[in-house]
Structure 1
């Protein structure tokens, strides 16, 4: 009995202690107008912090955490739209002993009163996403140029099975970032950082921070010498680096130990051996390495020139990049602790300055295997928006609710674009335009790249009248031939330019680069800088230049090159930050947002100048929210190599899954190896094949533009008319125009429904986990499965057919069952394109330009095997009347059980609308294999005058 009494007394004492512990460590919370504030002070279970939940809609919650007592960030957001609408049906706050809970009509957000962790649940109590506990590394005080801020870190716990996408555009061929990857979110030529991730668990995170940020596995990369190294001679501690004559391999300049490879920037050039001319050298690194860890290792390479890598005799990389524009790639290897691996790297630098770094990620520790982090250089708070949805599309719609809709781009932009680096004279660009029309190659847009100005007048936005004697007449002539013209408008201003003094006097420029005396690479070299788009007066001044010199003579679209801003390609980040000092605050805090503000000034300037002409901006760099300024991105100065073409696929998909829908790349690649300048027979055929495959891929993107350095990129300059390459490129261009009704309807869906045209397989097939990591396939709209060919000489490639549906060959109509991987033939003339069962696919006529004729006859292919729907959208194509409701829709619905196609009453109208047209209905099934290259025996022809009708298909 006495023992039981002692036991009960002990339990009561334990309960009292626990209660006291709980009471003294629990946070205080208070209700706010649209959420709650939770405060921790002197707690043993949490850092001192204030946590705010701000409910934006029933599916969007903003979470902000600051050190205890610190003010919330007060500045107006550059990303979130000014007109943000709160749409909250219900909001209830409740609490338990250990939590405070905020519930809306769609979700519940729970904050721990013990440690401050925030977790998100659906209404059934299923966890969607949660924070890890904040600690002393969450807020590290720092400053730059008198600007005080925190270095910010937030860890989140993710599900090992989910797919994570978005985060901008990167060149590492990675599709799914939930695999221990480190992603650097910073603006750089070929790299775009957008701080939005999208999960297959139907949530998104908009990390509300403008500074350089690492995402994913944010542990610091390790230098080469973190491995145990051994030279090729067997000496411990280094690899043997042998510098040889690249033309006479037996001639050795020198051999030396190297245990750190870190030649990343101009400031690192002195580390190379004295007296060795890298332009004549090949460097061979040889030896062995072993790791102190077991597991997946990731080698991170930055390089220029030619780079080949062998591990244990297996070649694992063969790359090239031009000297001034270093590229990156990664190699993954599963390694065993202390196991020795042979390594050989052959590096041929390309040109004067040369770049090569090698670092690595160690295997993820067990405790961090399900951790996904954001780590930012500067911020006042941990600040993010959690967006929930019933689908990934609904999550992206939430992102655009926050950051702005993507306008419908002009109809002409969905045609073919021709560009080159560069048309040097008025006569040259006019001749190319005339040749396209003479050959009857469809085209809508011709592009004038940089240096159309006089050499010293970079920034004036004025043509050099010696080479372009009458720009206004040139633009009119192109317009008369049914061309649009886009022009390069750099945000850069030379000190010797005619506008420099005005911009300097008004403090509209960044002066540091002028004082540093850093020269560019044009002619004799000119000191230059960039204007400051964070200053509204500077934005207005820049638009005034564009308006007076270019827009008033009829220029149709803007190409914003170097919009990172790229002050100089290879200065290090510290130098970049010292040069780039925006009026709004320090460069560290605002490093990634230049392209957003640059686009803002042009978009607002043109819409104010001409409210009824659609703005189009093509930009090399991009940030969250930029889609609202009619901005599209292209992937920068990539190389004309097969590996670069493949890298673009995952880069473009993830860009699109960042909520930013308009993307493209230079079809054919921009940077060209010398071997293609004066090619032998084999290289010439490879060049033609490479461009053919790139055109075939480019036809299924929001924008289809051929561009690059010499050789010239017009189809007739790539191959003669009787060559398979020429025929293939023309077929791809014609197919682009045949798909115009489909593509333009996707653009409308992108605006009205916040849709995404480029779609990772997981977006439409979230239950098919075999598709989560596919980095070389995507869906173009709801219907088309695109599988580019990215290997030289490939006559077949493996294709994953997502399960849950059947697929039809676009060209032949032959059916393939889903849920399998198959080796599919890839003839020179075509890339594999498959149509999803249930698809309703409008195919229009071949046209010379998008406005040549109205689509009064459309072939409408209907694919058996599932119910389907398609909404055919049309408007005036060039103005903003669609924002006022001036457009039409024709809805098609297919009932697979009855084989009935229903066409609804036409909804809406607009000036110039077709009131009567013909539809040729073509039914495709397993027993009726027809396609674009196999004509149907007899389509069902109907006349449609806007009234509903039904057709039985057979």
Structure 2
């Protein structure tokens, strides 16, 4: 399907990090104090999202200003530059609605940027935010005017774009666009909006990967880099319960980055258990973005001490998984495979799995069971028959092809790893600008004899289309072979591509379920030290890959 409608370009690597986001930050001081709070508490964060207060002090009457309110945000260029120096990107909300009371109204009229009535006059109507017109993204004048706004903001230092209300939220039937009546083009408005932004970046900022957060699109919107979310979901258990199915469905429709406002958006329901469960699910989501109305703090750094400490562990795990998650983004960009995958991807012939959404695969090798009800102490999980699976936290083994009751703790959701496969992890960093491609730790769960091969993707995280140019990326192949006598783990350049030799990699390898102490471990034939714990059956050793091929042999 994505071969037909288009593949999603790689997002910037920082998009896989943690966001600070709420409705909304009302001043430069609020923005800077929020990021300072993350830094003080050593909670990783890569971006802050500014809702509509950046262009006006009131919710109503200011939409369409699309320029900084200098009283509350003086020197916005300096603010964004200071944030960028800390490794934090600034994402700004924009809407296609231009109120008749906004600073840009007359300009859009003069430049013929707006949709019209049949008689050619700018179309106006009332909705929640005020009396409004809408940018006609189907005609050159509308696209040119809108892109000029974005170009100015990007040049000021904006790192990402949030396009809101692009359904469009209110689009009366009598409105006319260059492509037809409102009812005829309603469903492709958001699609064309994303297109004009994507094409603008390609033309004017060809060295930047866009971040385009939008809640409305169409078939093929993924090819413009659209990152959708599920809208203003209720901050309730019911709000959480629907999110897995929404994301899985959208992933199969090409939009692999569907996600939700972690913690829930709407309402004043206060429940730290719900918040933590939502964030624990969010770790294994395409985008990790807590967001909410002001009634209850959305940011991890704004929580009470106990909740913050627990939520911080979810954020840290998100960053530890960055090399694995970035490889999922690469797979999506080259094959169309969603990052979140239904269980029937493992067992296509098993019809009973075709309606299962409460358990899913995160990439190929994680099996995830979110907890979506309060007070849960155990739950049932089906383990795909294609492998045996190990609990990521307790290291308990579960046999594939069977259901099992698993214990549930408040610290994490049930998370399982495919046996006999190698997974890359990394150290926690304050933000992704500090992430190093060469600092990799690997884990694997040993389960008798087995063979597997995995390829991991690396680049600089910013260059557009890096995966299509051999000199701009690298592919590390990890081959696993276990028999009665030994386990051999080999790292090498992926010889099926023209990618140059892999750069240096070093770190720790941890193998679980190693029942007997190895006789020895060698790297390229030379013995190396290791640690083995009889009680936990855990084996650890250091590796250093700095040539075209590295072979590690564990002699049983």
Q: Aligned Cα RMSD in Å? A: 2.6
Unaligned runs of 5+ in 2: 518-530
1:742 pairs with one of 324, 331, 334: 324
Note the C-alpha offset of 1:416: 0.7
Tell me if the contact between 2:168 and 2:186 (Cα under 8 Å) persists in the aligned partners: no
Structure 2 match to 1:729:
311
1:705 maps onto 2:289 in alignment: yes
Q: State the distance in 2 between where 1:521 and 1:779 align.
A: 40
Q: Which structure has the highest strand share of the two?
A: 1
Q: State the distance in 2 between where 1:703 and 1:592 align.
A: 24
Q: State the distance in 2 between where 1:579 and 1:468 align.
A: 38
Q: State the distance in 1 between where 2:346 and 2:263 align.
A: 29
1:535 pairs with one of 139, 162, 181: 139
Structure 2 match to 1:485:
90
2:76 pairs with one of 459, 471, 483: 471
Tell me if the contact between 1:859 and 1:920 (Cα under 8 Å) persists in the aligned partners: yes
Q: State the distance in 1 between where 2:369 and 2:208 align.
A: 36
1:951 maps onto 2:552 in alignment: yes
1:715 maps onto 2:313 in alignment: no
Note the C-alpha offset of 1:403: 1.5
1:878 pairs with one of 454, 462, 475: 462
Q: Which structure has the highest helix share of the two?
A: 2
- Seen in structure 2, the aligned counterparts of structure 1 residues 472 and 452 have a Cα distance that, compared at 3 Å, is same
Q: Give matches, 1:183-582, under 5 Å.
A: 399-454=1-56, 455=58, 456-511=61-116, 518-522=125-129, 526-548=130-152, 550-567=153-170, 576-582=171-177
Look up the SS of the partner of 2:54 in the other structure. coil
Q: State the distance in 2 between where 1:411 and 1:780 align.
A: 18
- Seen in structure 2, the aligned counterparts of structure 1 residues 728 and 909 have a Cα distance that, compared at 3 Å, is farther
Look up the SS of the partner of 2:39 in the other structure. helix
TM-score normalized by the length of structure 1:
0.53
Note the C-alpha offset of 1:936: 6.8
- Seen in structure 2, the aligned counterparts of structure 1 residues 579 and 466 have a Cα distance that, compared at 3 Å, is farther
- Seen in structure 2, the aligned counterparts of structure 1 residues 602 and 881 have a Cα distance that, compared at 3 Å, is closer
The range that moved more, 855-864 or 797-806, is 855-864
1:839 maps onto 2:441 in alignment: no
Tell me if the contact between 1:873 and 1:887 (Cα under 8 Å) persists in the aligned partners: yes
- Seen in structure 2, the aligned counterparts of structure 1 residues 855 and 605 have a Cα distance that, compared at 3 Å, is closer
Structure 2 match to 1:785:
367
- Structure number with greater CO (CA < 8 Å, separation at least 6) is 2
Q: State the distance in 2 between where 1:747 and 1:881 align.
A: 12
Tell me if the contact between 1:814 and 1:926 (Cα under 8 Å) persists in the aligned partners: no
1:888 maps onto 2:491 in alignment: no
Count of matched residue pairs:
527
Tell me if the contact between 1:405 and 1:627 (Cα under 8 Å) persists in the aligned partners: yes
Q: State the distance in 2 between where 1:463 and 1:534 align.
A: 26
TM-score normalized by the length of structure 2:
0.89
Note the C-alpha offset of 1:584: 0.9
Tell me if the contact between 2:125 and 2:131 (Cα under 8 Å) persists in the aligned partners: yes
1:648 maps onto 2:243 in alignment: yes
Note the C-alpha offset of 1:856: 3.2
Look up the SS of the partner of 1:939 in the other structure. strand
1:826 pairs with one of 390, 402, 408: 408
Unaligned runs of 5+ in 1: 1-398, 568-575, 677-686
Residues 423-473 of structure 1 show CA distances to partners (whole Å, capped at 9, x for unaligned) of 011110111011111111011111111132135442231011111111111
Tell me if the contact between 2:510 and 2:538 (Cα under 8 Å) persists in the aligned partners: no
Tell me if the contact between 1:919 and 1:943 (Cα under 8 Å) persists in the aligned partners: yes
Q: State the distance in 1 between where 2:144 and 2:124 align.
A: 27
Tell me if the contact between 1:692 and 1:726 (Cα under 8 Å) persists in the aligned partners: no
Structure 2 match to 1:586:
181
Tell me if the contact between 1:876 and 1:887 (Cα under 8 Å) persists in the aligned partners: yes
Look up the SS of the partner of 1:797 in the other structure. strand
Structure 1 match to 2:220:
625
Note the C-alpha offset of 1:591: 2.6
Tell me if the contact between 2:395 and 2:512 (Cα under 8 Å) persists in the aligned partners: yes
Structure 2 match to 1:868:
452
Residues 856-914 of structure 1 show CA distances to partners (whole Å, capped at 9, x for unaligned) of 33221123344222112111111225133311111011124463222223668999x98
Note the C-alpha offset of 1:834: 0.4
Tell me if the contact between 1:922 and 1:936 (Cα under 8 Å) persists in the aligned partners: no
Look up the SS of the partner of 1:759 in the other structure. strand
Residues 36-69 of structure 1 show CA distances to partners (whole Å, capped at 9, x for unaligned) of xxxxxxxxxxxxxxxxxxxxxxxxxxxxxxxxxx
1:661 pairs with one of 221, 240, 256: 256
The range that moved more, 435-444 or 833-842, is 833-842
- Seen in structure 2, the aligned counterparts of structure 1 residues 515 and 935 have a Cα distance that, compared at 3 Å, is farther
Q: Whose radius of gyration is greater, 1 or 2? A: 1
Structure 2 match to 1:639:
234
Residues 542-581 of structure 1 show CA distances to partners (whole Å, capped at 9, x for unaligned) of 0101212x111110111111110112xxxxxxxx451553
Look up the SS of the partner of 2:327 in the other structure. helix
Q: State the distance in 2 between where 1:797 and 1:754 align.
A: 32
Look up the SS of the partner of 2:490 in the other structure. strand
Q: State the distance in 2 between where 1:411 and 1:664 align.
A: 16
